[in-house]
Chains A and B, each alone.
Chain A
Amino acid sequence: MAEDAIFDLLHMEAVSYVFQGDKISEDEAVAKLEHMGFATGYRLVERLTRESGRFKDELDIMKYICKDLWVNVYRKQIDNLRTNHQGVYVLHDNRFRFLSHMAAGKQYLQYAPRYLAFTCGLVRGCLANLGITCVVTAEVTQLPACKFQIQVQRG
């Protein structure tokens, strides 16, 4: 779809903006992207779930993230969802959209985390607005596949 191209380019610009110059550390830049993702996700999920019913439980919310949210944002579903039933969820995406144009294999592996930070924030923002406080991290060993780990904070 045409609007996807412009969203992809905007995301690329956001990434290259936070990493420009050498004054800023990698961590700080990633934190900024994560924050942008959080703000986006927090608002987006409010628009998306306007007409949907109540969620049964935490797992139901995670399924929503894997299916509806992912389809809306990345045009595909998460390929695999795993959980230890103690608040840790791992989402596998075998062909993550922001990485799919970069490489197949290990080339540019060191730059991959930059393109995942926004999405980590996006997921965290969505969950925050649905009442789940969590930490989201991403891991990539082979482009364009990656996995997101969601650790729910209880207490």
Chain B
Amino acid sequence: MSRQGVRPADSKKVSGELFTLTYGALVAQLLKDYENVDDVNRQLERMGYNIGVRLIEDFLARANPGRCYDLRDTADKIQQAFKLYLGITPSIGSWNPGGDEFSVVLETNPMAEFVELPEHCLGLRYSNILAGIIRGACEMVQMEVMAWFIADQLKGDNVTEIRIKFVKRLEDAIPAGED
């Protein structure tokens, strides 16, 4: 029996699985290295931040989204980025009255596709890297935001929900040694 070459539709799906599985192996390694799940959460957020700082350049080059003029604009672009990189379209909602806080709601979480949390890891925020990515990416376009999980399907919630709060606009800094 001979195997057929890779079909394009399949290979796209599999590449997502590759990412999911690699991420799983990384989280497993972190859990082994750190005794405390809070440290793992923090480390995942930091890694996400580092990824976000670089990923924003790829996003700007690839999708050419232009500047955001308000936070609703930003929310749309975050939605677009999820579509581009993870192949899912989250819904945006739960704006607070002040308009500086919103939620990104994922019906399915591709990061957690093959995951089951064991009892002793209930404090683990498995997909915390996403929060870091959002924070890092926004920082590179002069927005300081906070991002955190308020619902997680791995912990029995119906959806996975990331809350994003706008903190402040970062001003262009004057390079050192110049006036």
Residue positions of B touching A, CB distance < 8 A: 1-3, 5-6, 11-12, 14-19, 21-26, 28-30, 43, 47, 50-51, 54-55, 58, 62, 84-87, 114
Contact = CB atoms under 8 A, between A and B. Distances in A.
User: For the complex, would chain A's binding face be called helix, strand, loop or mixed by DSSP majority?
Assistant: helix
Interface of A: 1-7, 9-11, 13-14, 16-18, 32, 35-37, 39-40, 43-44, 47-48, 52-54, 64, 67-68, 71-73
A44 B47 contact: no
A14 B26 contact: yes
A7 B22 contact: yes
A72 B55 contact: no
User: For the complex, would chain B's binding face be called helix, strand, loop or mixed by DSSP majority?
Assistant: helix
Given A32-B29, A52-B3, A7 B19 contact: yes
Nearest to B58: A5
A72 B16 CA distance: 10
A3 B22 contact: no
A53 B14 contact: no
Contacts of B5: 67-68
Nearest to A41: B21
